[in-house]
Amino acid sequence: MISAEKIILGIDPGTTVMGFGLISVKKGKMEMVSIHELILKKYPNHETKLKYIFDKTLALIDEFHPDEVALEAPFYGKNVQSMLKLGRAQGVAMAASLYRNIPITEYSPKKIKMAITGNGNASKEQVAGMLQNLLKLKEFPTKYLDASDGLAVAVCHHFNSGTITDMKSYTGWESFLKQNPDRLK
């Protein structure tokens, strides 16, 4: 039986601020459920930040019971250390989702921006403005654009439900390892 409502948790991984957005989709209509950011710059080391990312992701899953989780995939930058830290943050959020057996899907930053604004090079401000319009929000409920990016990932996932381009989906650890044999050592 197909559920009448679907909850999607979108995550914008970060090591300074990590954004989370939740939407509900009922009969094709989207509504923002919640938006959160996890401020990580106050924690003393990367390991502590990873623990808080895992704990916060699990807490959101346990509170809102999303049916699916969508994450922004790390983009390739010049700073290898930053990419490594960002990849770890994403991996911890993925692990928390898979720990609760929730299917996850990754989207590239360009795909997310394209889905929300029609422009793969849109600014964070343009994405937030379009989300405010799409979700009929009088004002944006957070000052952090990382949180709006998490919401954008959830909306992108809703817009792309049923399509298989430029994304990866996993239903559990076995599925993840089959699609990423290079990550197994």
60/1 Cα distance (integer angstroms): 25
Q: Is 55 annotated as a binding residue?
A: no
Q: Is 72 in the active site?
A: yes
CB burial of 6-35 (b: ≥16 within 10 Å; e: otherwise) equals: bbbbbbbbbbebbbbbbbbbeeeebebbbb
Q: Which of 37, 72, 106, 149 is catalytic?
A: 72
CB 33 within 8 A of CB 23: yes
50/85 Cα distance (integer angstroms): 9
Q: Is 12 in the active site?
A: yes
The residues facing 106 across adjacent strands are 71, 168
Q: Which of 37, 68, 106, 146 is catalytic?
A: 146
CA angle 41, 43, 48 (to 5 degrees): 125
Q: Is 62 annotated as a binding residue?
A: no
**Token representation of residue 151:** 């919401």
Query: Residues at the annotated binding site?
Result: 12, 72, 146
Residues with a catalytic annotation lie at: 12, 72, 146
Task: List residues forming the annotated binding site for Mg(2+).
Answer: 12, 72, 146
